[in-house]
Structure 1
């Protein structure tokens, strides 16, 4: 995007009058001109489609009226779209309607739960769904996401929406139009995209396998247990066995050798096995603390738990935060470097591998990579389970 677009993203632009101008625009070209003049970045899409016409899609969106005018001179019938999130100051909750289902039930449930307030305006979409448009008011990033099972999408940072009065061809061959159908008469609300997604798609608690050897089990017993896992249980079993060894204080090189060799007859490659073991061993203290918190949470919120159990869990959570702060201070890990936990070598044991310090140039990117590897491993577990079930 141009510098003027980024600058405009930090300044107020939207008002009921501007939405009214958008509603009254007779063509996508006139809507694009109105919005660009108000500092809202726009870009053209293929006529009667949602596909961008510019090379880099919504990244090319501009507030420069001369650029926008040139686009519509070149593509006079183009649809108009805008990037969502910080770029335009608008977050959109997209309620889909498909032959497989509708997102309106989920919308009503979210409203009843207090997770969706009054949008600044509402657009009816060609499919029969709607775009609930909320003004971005806070400084925090809200990335786009989808919950296909509930037929609800969120268009925030990294997304875009097609705008009125664009038209899109539907599966029945009819071309239908985006229309503004409602504008808030009072101060609109913002939307918490993270809370909304958590409500629509609650995280599923992961329980250890019922036959997993208990904490303190001999490493060779854990290795034998991993080797005995069948299809659909291999990666999950290796992860939990790795956690057991980490919780018991076994060094990473010991776990990697024993469990890695045991996982190969079970069908995992060396790379897959090492990735899974490493995810449990990134820092032992985190595994110990978070595993304990996780099990305590499962017990505290079980149907048979005492009504006061969640209070005890929150007390333990507060104490855990203090312990982890002390651990970070002691081990020397900082935002720009990562130091593995130091292991004490007992008499008669082989020397521990040196704990080399790793430079972290981008902590956010490092965390994203770690999460992506973990998500990939978990998806592989789910895929194995699905194959096993079928």
Structure 2
């Protein structure tokens, strides 16, 4: 397993990353910044429909050491991968031209310059232990670490809400992925021991207590090793269906529909569009219910909502895959109180809310089930709600 994909591989300590930066670029960095990946507890494909989501920042981070340059050159290097040093310039940044991981920091630079912020040339060294392609938002972790660094270095004074919109523009217009604002909101606004209840219409956010340990639970992430990409046609087609559904129903966004409106929608929409709409409408309701339960009986009460969410994504939104379904079904059958795929779909990871005493049984059962099915060996690890993006050196 490559180091960047190993969930237990710690990100380089700030001092180590700074030393590596000085070795590679010949001078010390101006600082080191980090931003976490995220797990979406519930609320999938509701963000770009101006709905509700409930993600949390996780204890897996992307870290960047950065130094401003006196010229317009941009030099990028990662501690992993084989791309080597990538050199470009501020003037040459154009949407769709960057390759690999570099499109994320370059997209942030481009988006800030488009906002009129005077971003200097820079040297940047990236390290990350957010598993790639697992639906834990490794790309947004990079973007949020970079924008936090550049906000500090330029003195731009951007609020979290502004940084969210800038990174969304980087994703949408530079990278070419039609994503919403959930991932970067979790990374920039997360807090230890909490999930972020986010209204994607106006960016109103409220921290909701979410701690598994006091409830005798663990949240397992099951990385199926089926890589996914938000920039592919599956994600874009789902978004187009949602926009069509809102247009036919005469609302600004699917957020404006309630469960009681689904009967009318079934008579106006074709079957596929209706099912896409039904997922978003019912998923929004499940997010609100989860927030209510976490504020009352606690995380042990949300299992049925996780189960219902997965069924909706599997059957109505059709973004699951055999590996995700097997991970979810096997977890439930061996003691998890609720499980669902998380992230954009078409691969990536599932989460399983599991009593501590059943953790090993679930782990063993999932590994065996994958082996019996001829699937790749999954990575299984725990995550905890962690702090959001910050300067660390």
TM-score normalised over the length of structure 2: 0.30
Higher normalized contact order (CA 8 Å, seq sep 6+, divided by chain length): 2
Q: Please say which structure displays the higher CA radius of gyration.
A: 1
- Between structures 1 and 2, the one with greater strand share: 2
Q: Normalising to structure 1: TM-score of the pair?
A: 0.30
